Chain A
């Protein structure tokens, strides 16, 4: 009897603590969601007000000038994930276009950018729901080819944004709205060389410049990584130095113009790719390169890998925006961690894309396609930013938290 009473008490205690546990966590969830939504709404409305004033500016001179939606279309948007704030900035841009055009869209994305199969499933379900158009940022450009064919068979126009799909079936992708990643990668190489030119010219022995790419499969990362490597090779060899590429096999094999070998070249470009696209594994890969005595610069080719470089620097403390005082670190994209590192002089600078405008123009491109008009690809630039221009009106809106 005594035992039964005790058991009842214990289970009552357990149930009540469970309720308390659940209560507090759901409370947090609701509160957190409310906060996120409120912040997003505030950002969107501010952006939208600005946009109504400046919408002509954004559209002037582009193929989207004067476009209106013939119907209240419903589009489907599939992003790579909501993992980084980058994608949330793209959604803000899409919301701006949504307000202006009077269309609607549903946005979804897998849990992480490595969940390729999940994204393909989402794409297939979206196709069977027959939306007026699909905007897609493909996690893996090869995996979506069959789905793109079925979208074409179902006459659903697809706009690729952020990442182009090079081998897409003819006519399935009506337009690509993406950063020219090769050019964006070479912007980082130009800056890296500009800062390190004297150091390389006067070096006694071999010097090393690192690059962390979060993967070797996504086209935009491949292009950006190779854009950096190939431009750097061009600049170094133009000054009569020898250069070698080492590290990850994909990038070593795809690099063009290297004229030295790893043992004897004046400059070694070492490329590292982590097993998974997480900051902690990028951190280990970056530490490996940054621990070497001869490393003078390192480039993280997206937000995750640039944050990995900064995580590694937490322990190493080698980065400094002044080349005479330390190693040069260059990042990509934004986010509060990277922005803070540039502001305080740890990181020399970064190249940013314009996720907000990318989202904005994607909706316009999809509307044109749904109207039945022909749409052209819309390549976008990568912009260098550092302490001198972070607050410029052209740069600041892209530097999301």
Chain B
């Protein structure tokens, strides 16, 4: 018994357990399905992971303050729709569309932050409201395809995936995900923004009493989340041919689920970016892998739900051990 405790400590955090689960799941799907083994499936999986992992890295920050951001699902679609409308219907260059999508994300993040940190709205309610607002705003636009093929501006697909002349795909977006994870891991552990994010989550009163401008750093957590939602909207637009108004609700739950599977505590104060990234990959792997082994769509949701319960249970057990 004692030995297992030591092992747990040596493992340090949930993130290595999640990494092992991720690898085990991948191997399981490869064994169970011949078609899953194809490299093209891995490329599809990566396509999907780009927007979910980027969203998860962002949303980990509000969760670590003890809050949540429910607006990122509909937000991602809304930002992609506005950017796409600018490019396709109003003749703006693609980089303007990308910039507008990201700035829009930061703006909504800032709004969330002010509602939560300054106006003291419960994060759940505040971001539920902004999720409705972004869904409505997005529905003002028409279903918008971003440029593809030979069209002007189709180059933006190369940000996440380069297609060579012989149709070979190079998923360069993976490097972006790795870079984002490393940068945000550094931000979380070695900068004030990150340290205070965790401090607010574990004890907001104490953090305030020690002279930290809690409101500012609390807002920053939501701004980071908005920035990443903005970036995820570009990843989404580059992987999916048409961005449809009115969709996106539910995507935030997959991203939040990824962060939680990765060991970010829903009570705040605990979490790692590495764990979040691995957790988000587990969710994506389930979304892609389960249909491949012949499970019908509803099983996919049931199994994901059960895995989330497991992850939250680990969180609770860890806390209990820390208490006694």
Contact = CB atoms under 8 A, between A and B. Distances in A.
Interface of A: 7, 10, 14, 17-18, 21-22, 24-25, 28-29, 31-33, 35-36, 39, 81-85, 88, 110-112, 115, 248-249, 272-276, 278-281, 283-285, 287-288, 291-293, 304, 307, 310-312, 314-317, 335-337, 340, 344
B41 A280 contact: no
B58 to A, nearest CB: 17
A368 to B, nearest CB: 31
Contact of A284 (B48, B145, B298): B48
Contact of A21 (B107, B167, B288): B107
B252 interface: no
B107 A22 contact: yes
A335 B143 contact: yes
Contacts of A279: 240-242, 244
Given A82-B245, A307-B241, 17 more contacts: A21-B111, A22-B107, A25-B104, A29-B140, A85-B142, A111-B245, A279-B240, A279-B242, A287-B40, A287-B288, A291-B35, A291-B36, A291-B292, A304-B244, A315-B47, A336-B145, A337-B145
B110 A32 contact: no
Contacts, number: 152
Interface stretch (B81-89, B190-198, B313-321): B81-89
14 contacts: A18-B110, A32-B90, A35-B89, A36-B140, A84-B244, A110-B246, A283-B240, A285-B297, A287-B41, A287-B288, A314-B239, A316-B40, A337-B242, A340-B148
Interface residues of B, number: 57
B141 A32 contact: yes
A78 to B, nearest CB: 15
Interface string B234-248: 001001111011110
A82 B298 contact: no
Closest 7 CB pairs of A and B: A21-B107, A275-B297, A111-B246, A291-B35, A112-B246, A317-B167, A337-B241
Contacts of A291: 35-36, 38, 40-41, 292
Contact of B298 (A110, A275, A288, A312): A275
Contact of B291 (A25, A35, A272, A340): A272
Q: Is the interface of B mostly helix, strand, loop or mixed?
A: helix
A272 B292 CA distance: 11
B32 interface: no
Interface string B109-146: 01100100000000000000000000101011111010
A337 B89 CA distance: 15
Contacts of B219: 14
B76 to A, nearest CB: 11
Interface of B: 35-36, 38, 40-41, 43-44, 47-48, 82, 85-86, 89-90, 100, 103-104, 106-107, 110-111, 114, 135, 137, 139-143, 145, 148-149, 167, 169, 213, 216, 219, 236, 239-242, 244-247, 249-250, 287-288, 291-292, 296-298, 300-301
B65 to A, nearest CB: 17
B300 A288 contact: no
Contact of B296 (A248, A317, A337): A248
Contacts of B137: 25, 29
A83 B245 contact: yes
Given A85-B143, A311-B241, A287 B111 contact: no
A314 B239 CA distance: 9
A33 B140 contact: yes
A190 to B, nearest CB: 27
Contact of A112 (B145, B247, B291): B247
A264 B11 CA distance: 50
A275 B301 contact: yes
B252 to A, nearest CB: 14
A291 B236 CA distance: 22
B246 A21 contact: no
B107 A25 contact: yes
